[in-house]
Structure 1
Amino acid sequence: MAWSPSPLLPIAILAAVLFLQAPLALAGDPDLLQDICVADLTSAVKVNGFACKATVTDDDFYFKGLAAPGNTNNTYGSVVTGANVEKVPGLNTLGVSMSRIDYAPGGLNPPHTHPRATEMVFVLQGTLDVGFITTGNKLVAKTITAGDVFVFPRGLVHFQKNNGDAPAAVISAFNSQLPGTQSLAMTLFAATPEVPNNVLTKAFQVGTKEVEKIKSRLAPKKS
């Protein structure tokens, strides 16, 4: 059956815009010092963000990649389509970004953190089990469905799981132009250079064989 846009998509965009229009003093990124500073993604200059382009066009502020669902045919059954400064250079210095996340039935957006941003999701379709873990090791979790909103505080480990038999999708809003994502499994078991096995075996109280098995499954696929 052909996919058609969710009727909740306009509401999701509006909710995200309202979230992103919080006072700039509360934004996750530093305040801007000029009207615009469109990112020059080709520049070799290293600053806290991106250097500014000399020539600006309307396309620097435009992106249409969130309208259609992403391909969830992967190990986790989920895919994130980002609309951050790397896709929308005009976001540079503005302290905001968005993403679309799609989930196949049974799909998981695995435990991860965003070190530079709080995240708010608006459910376009489907039902998700979501949650985050506080630094006191308390799980805050809820089942959310189309039209619902849930917030994941900055830096805390969180996840989303589609336990239903139909696809699900959300729009995410962030108070950072580039929130950063650290997936716990990939960070610990697929880092380069590798995290030493004796660190992982002691941390997870498992044997070397178990650690090596996980590493082999998460290792980048060779072309």
Structure 2
Amino acid sequence: MNSNLAFFLTCALLISLSEARLAVDFCVADPNLPTGPEGRACKNPSNVTVYDFIYTGFRTPGQTSIIFNNNIDVAFVDTFPGLNGLGLSMVRLDFGVNGVIPMHSHPRASEVLILAKGSIIAGFIDTNDVAYYKKLQVGDVIILPQGLLHFQVNVGKSPALAFVSFNNANPGIQFTSTSLFAGNLPAKLVEKTTLIDHDQVIKLRKVFGKYSVL
């Protein structure tokens, strides 16, 4: 499947999930004005151009050189101002061989993923600790519900590519590994709350303190 086609198919899939309602045609974000709970303030329409509605960051593959052998390119409202108020955002996921998008959640959005190239396993875990996962073929789509832990793993012998769409212009991302081992939570509390032994906690803190997942 052509990667550009996959991109637009994913956009179309999420439109039906969006709950955004605008009283104007659009509200391109103005980064120079304050941000509120409803999103960013609108740019003066007289200063809006077509380039506010075009994002070119997905044109080329990202370098899969971090610890999980992936690259995550995001088109959220901060990088794509035209999304403001529309309840939509996008991500390009590049997987190297054995690449992984580790366990994470999006507190403010549900997710639709379409596989454009390669072979991955994608899935999520519900609040009853039941895992729903499947090996996807090119063109397959999977829905990942809001707030639930989920993941993607490249299980093919070549790089993989997927596009993701969210029903929120700023869905938020929380990676379990970095939340536990790259933040300011004391090692003793990590040990208590995970039952991971002290030496392993220290080892993981060194790993995730050095690398950024996103």
TM-score (norm 2): 0.91
What letter matches 1:27 in structure 2? S
Following superposition of structure 1 onto structure 2, how do residues 39-50 of structure 1 map, counting pairs within 5 Å? 39-43=29-33, 45-48=34-37, 49-50=39-40
Distance 2:8 2:208 in 1: 37
Distance 1:185 1:17 in 2: 29
The 1:220/1:40 distance shift into structure 2, 3 A limit, reads farther
Asked if structure 2 preserves the Cα contact closer than 8 Å seen for 1:123 and 1:169, the reply is yes
What secondary structure sits across from 1:219 in the alignment? helix
Asked if structure 2 preserves the Cα contact closer than 8 Å seen for 1:78 and 1:107, the reply is yes
Equivalent position to 1:66, from 58, 73, 78: 58
Distance 1:121 1:46 in 2: 28
Task: State the shift of 1:10 in Å.
Answer: 4.0
* 1:183 maps to 2:143: no
Q: Number of residues paired by the alignment?
A: 208
Following superposition of structure 1 onto structure 2, how do residues 105-184 of structure 1 map, counting pairs within 5 Å? 105-184=97-176
Over residues 76-130 of structure 1, what are the superposed CA-to-partner deviations in whole Å (9 max), with x where a residue is unaligned?
1011111221221011000001111000000000100011111111111100011
Distance 1:130 1:46 in 2: 34
Asked if structure 2 preserves the Cα contact closer than 8 Å seen for 1:121 and 1:170, the reply is yes
Distance 1:144 1:129 in 2: 6
Asked if structure 1 preserves the Cα contact closer than 8 Å seen for 2:14 and 2:112, the reply is no
Equivalent position to 1:12, from 6, 25, 31: 6
Distance 2:85 2:26 in 1: 8
What secondary structure sits across from 2:35 in the alignment? coil
Identity rate of aligned residues, in percent?
Answer: 35
Distance 2:11 2:99 in 1: 27
What letter matches 1:113 in structure 2? S
Aligned to 1:3: none
Of residues 48-57 and 127-136 in structure 1, the stretch that sits farther from structure 2 once superposed is 48-57
Aligned to 2:199: 209
What secondary structure sits across from 1:212 in the alignment? helix
Task: State the shift of 1:36 in Å.
Answer: 1.4
Equivalent position to 2:86, from 85, 91, 94: 94
What secondary structure sits across from 2:199 in the alignment? helix
Distance 1:211 1:13 in 2: 39
Of residues 201-210 and 94-103 in structure 1, the stretch that sits farther from structure 2 once superposed is 201-210
Task: State the shift of 1:8 in Å.
Answer: 2.7
Extract structure 1 runs of 4+ deviating beyond 4 A: none
Which runs of 5 or more residues in structure 1 are unaligned?
Answer: 1-6
Equivalent position to 1:53, from 21, 39, 43: 43
Distance 1:128 1:33 in 2: 40
Of residues 106-115 and 48-57 in structure 1, the stretch that sits farther from structure 2 once superposed is 48-57
TM-align CA RMSD = 1.5
What letter matches 1:206 in structure 2? I
Aligned to 1:27: 18
Distance 2:146 2:175 in 1: 14
